[in-house]
């Protein structure tokens, strides 16, 4: 590999402030590949970091873990991949030795982390990753679609954990990228009613395009309780997926479930502690579970991406040099953003 290849890497250095630093790209280790990034998407966790509100990421921190690109160099032990391959990457790192990893449940690894947390973010020109985390990108998918496989895998994991069944009524709280993808997958998993709640009319319109049967905008005076009652005859939703990360929506999820219903919490909470109506758990025998990341979900996401038409979620595109503007745009509700993609 060329010794003079240099990568710019974007990072958040303080609340609301970004910069770039440059570093040489060394040859890959035996089990690694170097990828020239073609498209990288902003994630909700990147926005939490930009706001200095991510509960697990202190500043300064590199950002970016939703990306695709071309392999430009391979380690000596890498097989099944070739220089020039179009790929996307599962950006988590695991120890491979703890009980969870040994039983194949690597999403619960005791040492689970993500590549950007160790300083190798995807808001960059190049990135080095383990070859085992690389997935070939089908020719039917663009680089931009490839950058959205990671959030789609998050949604796949959540919907699989929620065990959506034929004929069920599902409520999705939040129509950000994950909520929209969750809604699309719930409909395709057999739910007869998929209700989506959000304050942004354009996001609710997108939810309907992706398969939502009902949408609710509380900001326009629409009552979520009425929509759930009308859809279920007053029984409550069978399944609810919380994709916001706020106390209010967590409580809504507990309140609008039917008895013995299941709530799956997907959102990232900036608050480390919240208050809930705990007797709802007891009196209604409801179940509440979390869903983090993915585990054996990337292959399914790659198969579902074209069917969903995942590029519909991209609302804004920027060159990598405009990272600061991209982040501020993503946070500004007046810009009607869902997914923002940057290109080196």
- What is the full DSSP assignment across 21-44? EEEE-PPPPTTEEEEEEEEEE--H
| Beta-ladder partners of 233 | none
Asked if residue 1 has pLDDT above 60, the reply is: no
Q: Please check whether residues 187 and 54 belong to one and the same domain.
A: no
Q: Please check whether residues 12 and 143 belong to one and the same domain.
A: yes
Write out pLDDT tens, residues 32-68: 999 999 999 999 889 999 999 988 899 999 999 999 9
Q: Please check whether residues 20 and 135 belong to one and the same domain.
A: yes
Q: Please check whether residues 173 and 122 belong to one and the same domain.
A: no
The answer to whether position 297 is within a domain reads no
Domain span at residue 18 reads 6-147+309-343
CATH of residue 113's domain is 3.90.180.10
The answer to whether position 251 is within a domain reads yes
The answer to whether position 71 is within a domain reads yes
Q: Please check whether residues 136 and 216 belong to one and the same domain.
A: no
Query: Is 120 in contact with 132 (CB distance < 8 Å)?
Result: no
Q: Please check whether residues 200 and 265 belong to one and the same domain.
A: yes
Please report where in the chains the tokens 């709530």 appear, as a residue: 263
Q: Please check whether residues 137 and 173 belong to one and the same domain.
A: no
Q: Please check whether residues 221 and 332 belong to one and the same domain.
A: no
Find the largest Cα–Cα distance for the chain.
67
- One DSSP character per residue, 210-272 reads HT-SEEE-GGGT--HHHHHHHHHTTS-EEEEEE-S--HHHHHHHHHSEEEEEEEEE-SPPSSS
d(CA 46, CA 61): 10
Q: What is the pLDDT of residue 333?
A: 86
d(CA 106, CA 294): 9
Query: Is 258 in contact with 281 (CB distance < 8 Å)?
Result: no
The answer to whether position 23 is within a domain reads yes
Q: Please check whether residues 168 and 235 belong to one and the same domain.
A: yes
Please report where in the chains the tokens 């160099």 appear, as a residue: 73
Q: What is the pLDDT of residue 229?
A: 97
Give the number of domains in the chain.
Answer: 2
Q: Please check whether residues 161 and 132 belong to one and the same domain.
A: no
Write out pLDDT tens, residues 300-318: 999 999 999 999 999 999 9
Q: What is the pLDDT of residue 272?
A: 83
Q: Please check whether residues 283 and 330 belong to one and the same domain.
A: no
Report pTM.
0.95
Q: Please check whether residues 35 and 125 belong to one and the same domain.
A: yes
Least confident of 16-20, 86-90, 118-122, 206-210: 118-122
Query: Is 257 in contact with 240 (CB distance < 8 Å)?
Result: yes
């Amino acid at each position: 590999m060329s010794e003079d290849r240099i990568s710019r890497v974007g990072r958040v250095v303080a609340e609301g402030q970004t910069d770039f630093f440059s570093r040489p790209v060394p040859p890959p280790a035996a089990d690694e590949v170097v990828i020239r990034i073609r498209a990288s998407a902003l994630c909700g966790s990147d926005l939490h970091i930009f706001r200095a509100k991510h509960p697990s990421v202190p500043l300064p921190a590199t950002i970016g873990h939703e990306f695709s690109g071309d392999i430009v160099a391979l380690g000596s032990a890498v097989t099944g991949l070739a220089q020039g391959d179009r790929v996307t990457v599962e950006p988590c790192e695991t120890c491979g030795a703890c009980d969870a990893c040994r039983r194949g449940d690597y999403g619960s690894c005791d040492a689970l982390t993500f590549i950007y947390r160790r300083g190798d973010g995807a808001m960059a020109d190049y990135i080095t990753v383990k070859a085992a985390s690389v997935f070939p990108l089908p020719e039917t998918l663009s680089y931009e679609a490839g950058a959205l496989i990671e959030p789609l895998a998050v949604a796949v994991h959540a919907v699989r954990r929620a065990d959506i069944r034929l004929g069920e009524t599902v409520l999705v709280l939040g129509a950000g990228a994950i909520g929209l993808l969750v809604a699309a997958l719930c409909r395709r998993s057999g739910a007869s009613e998929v209700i989506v709640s959000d304050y942004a009319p354009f996001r609710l319109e997108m939810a309907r395009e992706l398969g939502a049967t009902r949408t609710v905008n509380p900001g326009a005076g629409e009552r979520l309780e009425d929509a759930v009652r009308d859809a279920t005859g007053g029984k409550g939703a069978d399944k609810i997926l919380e994709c916001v990360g706020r106390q209010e929506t967590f409580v809504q999820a507990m309140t609008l479930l039917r008895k013995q219903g299941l709530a799956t919490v997907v959102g990232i909470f900036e608050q480390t502690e919240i208050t809930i109506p705990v007797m709802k758990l007891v009196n209604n025998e409801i179940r509440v579970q979390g869903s983090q990341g993915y585990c054996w979900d990337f292959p399914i996401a790659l198969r579902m991406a074209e069917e969903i038409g995942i590029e519909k979620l991209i609302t804004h595109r920027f060159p990598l040099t405009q990272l600061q503007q991209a982040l501020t745009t993503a946070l500004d509700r007046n810009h009607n953003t869902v997914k923002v993609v940057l290109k080196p």
